[in-house]
């Protein structure tokens, strides 16, 4: 940086010497004053509007490792410690580096700078629990979670962790009440697991279990078969699965509804309802036109693989008059 300043000053002096040469002959004092004022003004302007930190060797190259990125981020935060997002980013980096104490301190600073940001408040609370030897949510973490819910009552992670903190404190009835609103916000499989947690908390509070949810009416019936020519030569691992997937034509990649079956279930009939919708905000009952496909996944994963076998997509309009037939056949 010193070399840069010296070179910049020399260039300024050379330019001024050329520009002020006529004035030097008539009024040297004025020329000197103009030169000094110009140099000072230039230095002040660069200080205010320039980027002197760009001269720092530590930030002149892209970080190659997480440690280098953390070092650069810490340098930036030392210059401007009022960056809530910067402290939150540093906290996430510390979590990846398995440094829960560092993450706790970084998220605490972010939370102080952004007291209305529910995401940051939840991260601050969770990092405090991770830094604790028993992974317990202390009183400060509890206050952060309550503040997050006050800022955003629909924040699912804040509500979940608040319930966990209440159970840790032995307040099982409060935990069950805190978790209950999540049942309407999550997909059916998650709701089923959450219901078990709520009922366990209610049992410890000597409360009866929640009433069983009403069975969702069947909106679509699908028959899935395997082409005989394919069945004679197919060799799949035991973990292979069959997925029945419903998409909105021209819509988002996320399915409107899906079911998973074992390969040994073939042929089978699947009855789909809103309970099979993975997204609470997009349900099968809201659809008019849909596209269906049955997929055999050798790995058992719902994500499509290159060697998966599929039926031809079938587009139908709801409600259908009868079952929709899907046949898994060899590719072209």
pLDDT tens digit sequence for 54-100: 555 554 556 668 788 888 888 888 988 899 999 998 899 899 889 99
Structure tokens at 8: 């910049």
For 259, the 3-state DSSP assignment is strand
Under the banding of pLDDT at 50, 70 and 90, the label for residue 19 is very low
Checking if the pLDDT of 167 tops 80, the result is: yes
Distance CA 114, CA 29 (A): 54
For 5, the 3-state DSSP assignment is helix
Cβ–Cβ under 8 Å, residues 176 and 198: yes
DSSP 8-state code for residue 265: G
State what percent of residues in the chain have pLDDT above 70. 77
Structure tokens at 228: 């005989």
pLDDT tens digit sequence for 298-324: 777 777 777 788 899 999 999 998 899
**pTM strictly above 0.75:** no
Cα 262 to chain centroid, rounded: 31
Question: For 40, phi and psi rounded to 5 degrees?
Answer: -65, -40
Cα 120 to chain centroid, rounded: 12
The closest of 216, 230, 217, 198 to 310, measured between CA atoms, is 230
Instruction: Give the CA diameter of the chain.
Output: 106
Strand 257-262 and strand 314-317: the pairing is unpaired
pLDDT tens digit sequence for 251-291: 778 899 999 898 888 889 999 998 888 887 788 999 999 99
Structure tokens at 15: 């330019």
**Residue 103: HSE in the Cβ half-sphere, 13 Å Cα cutoff:** 23
The closest of 168, 185, 167, 186 to 176, measured between CA atoms, is 167
pLDDT tens digit sequence for 182-238: 998 887 778 889 999 999 999 999 999 999 888 889 999 999 998 887 766 566 566
The dihedral built from the CA positions of residue 35, 41, 47 and 52, taken in this order, carries a sign that is negative
Count of CB atoms situated within 10 Å of the CB of 55: 14
Cβ–Cβ under 8 Å, residues 327 and 314: no
Distance CA 162, CA 169 (A): 11
Structure tokens at 275: 């309970």
Strand 220-226 and strand 324-328: the pairing is parallel
């Amino acid at each position: 940086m010193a070399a840069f300043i010296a070179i910049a000053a020399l260039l300024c002096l050379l330019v001024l010497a050329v520009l002020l040469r006529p004035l030097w002959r008539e009024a040297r004092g004025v020329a000197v004053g103009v030169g000094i004022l110009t140099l000072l003004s230039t230095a002040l302007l660069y200080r205010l509007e320039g980027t002197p930190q760009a001269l720092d060797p530590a930030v002149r190259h892209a970080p190659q490792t997480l440690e280098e990125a953390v070092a650069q981020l810490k340098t930036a935060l030392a210059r401007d410690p009022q960056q809530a997002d910067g402290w939150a980013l540093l906290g996430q980096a510390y979590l990846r580096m398995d440094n829960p104490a560092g993450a706790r301190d970084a998220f605490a600073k972010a939370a102080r700078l952004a007291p209305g940001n529910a995401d940051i408040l939840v991260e601050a609370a969770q990092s405090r629990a991770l830094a604790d030897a028993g992974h317990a949510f202390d009183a400060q973490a509890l206050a952060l979670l309550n503040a997050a819910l006050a800022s955003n009552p629909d924040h699912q992670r804040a509500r979940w962790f608040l319930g966990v903190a209440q159970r840790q404190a032995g307040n099982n009835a409060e935990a069950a009440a805190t978790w209950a609103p999540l049942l309407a916000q999550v997909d059916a499989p998650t709701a089923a697991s959450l219901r078990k947690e709520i009922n366990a908390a209610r049992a410890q509070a000597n409360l009866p279990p929640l009433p069983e949810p009403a069975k969702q009416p069947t909106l679509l019936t699908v028959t899935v078969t395997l082409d005989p020519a394919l069945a004679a030569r197919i060799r799949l691992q035991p973990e292979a699965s069959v997925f029945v997937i419903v998409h909105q034509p021209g819509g988002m990649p996320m399915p409107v509804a899906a079911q998973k079956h074992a390969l040994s279930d073939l042929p089978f009939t699947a009855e789909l309802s809103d309970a099979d919708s993975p997204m609470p905000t997009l349900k099968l009952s809201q659809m008019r036109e849909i596209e269906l496909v049955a997929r055999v996944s050798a790995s058992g994963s719902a994500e499509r693989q290159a060697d998966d076998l599929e039926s031809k997509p079938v587009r139908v309009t709801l409600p259908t008059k009868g079952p929709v037939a899907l046949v898994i056949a060899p590719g072209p």
